[in-house]
Amino acid sequence: MHTTTLHTVTGPLSCEAVRGPALAHEHLVLDLDREGDGGAVLDAGRHGPAVAAELLALRDAFDLSFVMELTCRGMGRDPRALAALSRETGVAVVAATGWYYEPFHTPEVASASVEQLTESLVREIEDGFGSSGIRPGVLGEVGSHGDVPSGPEARSLRAAARAAVATGLSVATHAQLGRGGLAQLDLLTAEGLPPHRVSVGHQDLLDDPGVHKELAASGAYVAFDTVGKESYQSDDTRVRLLLGLIEAGYADRALLSCDISRHAYLEAEGGQGYGHLFRSFLPRLRAAGVDDDLIDLMTRRNPLRFLTGASTEEI
């Protein structure tokens, strides 16, 4: 029996204890406000109660077990707030470290070497965030934009890969608008990180089934993680692309989530909320013939395998 544990914000969690689905790419506390309008914000004080209410409702209705919270350096990360949310809701939270894409890089990235960046990540993974004692359980969302990462983005990706190899964690990426995923994977695996320890982000924003299949065939996870963000891509297209991946035999490479990254996306403000995946998208997959075992594979077993490096046989 596989007994690998997840590193959550409230301590270790056995994979065997995870009986319900996960959200594989979310933000519970976040600050990406570069315009000054306060839109790209999830503030622990102002929005925390609404976030907690949604998580509690999803735990009760769908047995939501854990959330991969991919708010990293330069994104308004707040591990203590995540721990408070987790304790309040009973939903486990896996926190992240790494650097987002270049416009949000913290100052040290500009001048630091790959070795220095790696050392910084490893120290945080082993010692925790500051004095909190809370440890990250994943590297992400490590970002790039365009078809090829910029110089600083390439260094941050390489450092994430080296830190992952050194500590046994996995790497979740931000591929801006779905582009550049193959280049990201090439950089990460060139540092010795196995493809099955990589999740390439935002692939539901890229209408290119060939790229999805190439990523999946390598062994990497393909994240359909902006479900419900209709202003970027229709869920009709997401369903078509995901069904294509499933029909090609790659359901075991898919990760699903909603990437809630603005307070306007919260249900309390009329948005689709974290539950859009369960209330709208998964019923559409079921209506298209996707059975409950495949739903469990994509929403529970795949996230566990991604985070732990476990094989199909182990979970």
What confidence score (pLDDT) does residue 313 get? Answer: 79
CA terminus-to-terminus distance, the chain: 8
Q: How far apart are CA 220 and CA 287, in angstroms?
A: 27
Q: Confidence class of residue 36 from pLDDT cuts 50, 70 and 90?
A: confident
- Contact status, residue 61 vs residue 278, Cβ threshold 8 Å: yes
What confidence score (pLDDT) does residue 311 get? Answer: 83
* pLDDT tens, residue by residue, 132-166: 999 999 999 999 999 999 999 999 999 999 999 99
Q: How far apart are CA 110 and CA 283, in angstroms?
A: 45
* pLDDT tens, residue by residue, 272-305: 999 999 999 999 999 999 999 999 999 999 999 9
Q: How far apart are CA 186 and CA 293, in angstroms?
A: 32
pLDDT exceeds cutoff 50 at 126: yes
- Contact status, residue 222 vs residue 215, Cβ threshold 8 Å: yes
Contacts of 117 (CB under 8 A, 6+ apart): 99, 108, 109, 155, 156, 159
* Alpha carbon separation from 215 to 29, 46, 208, 248, 284 (Å, rounded): 30, 39, 11, 12, 24
Q: Confidence class of residue 189 from pLDDT cuts 50, 70 and 90?
A: very high
pLDDT exceeds cutoff 50 at 1: no
pLDDT exceeds cutoff 50 at 217: yes
Q: How far apart are CA 294 and CA 49, in angstroms?
A: 33
The tokens describing 58, both together, are 């999803």
The average confidence (pLDDT) of the chain is: 97
Q: Which of 139, 108, 107, 104 is nearest to 124 (CA)?
A: 139
pLDDT exceeds cutoff 70 at 2: no
* pLDDT tens, residue by residue, 70-123: 999 999 999 999 999 999 999 999 999 999 999 999 999 999 999 999 999 999
pLDDT exceeds cutoff 90 at 238: yes
The DSSP secondary-structure symbol of 249 reads T
Q: Which of 18, 16, 15, 47 is nearest to 31 (CA)?
A: 47
The DSSP secondary-structure symbol of 314 reads T
What confidence score (pLDDT) does residue 268 get? Answer: 98
Q: Is residue 210 classed exposed, middle or buried when 0-12, 13-18 and 19+ CB atoms within 10 A define those classes? A: exposed
What confidence score (pLDDT) does residue 278 get? Answer: 98
pLDDT exceeds cutoff 80 at 3: no
Q: Is residue 291 classed exposed, middle or buried when 0-12, 13-18 and 19+ CB atoms within 10 A define those classes? A: exposed
Q: How far apart are CA 147 and CA 215, in angstroms?
A: 15
What confidence score (pLDDT) does residue 178 get? Answer: 98
The tokens describing 276, both together, are 């859009």
Query: How many beta carbons lie within 10 A of that of residue 219, not counting itself?
Result: 15
Q: How far apart are CA 287 and CA 244, in angstroms?
A: 15
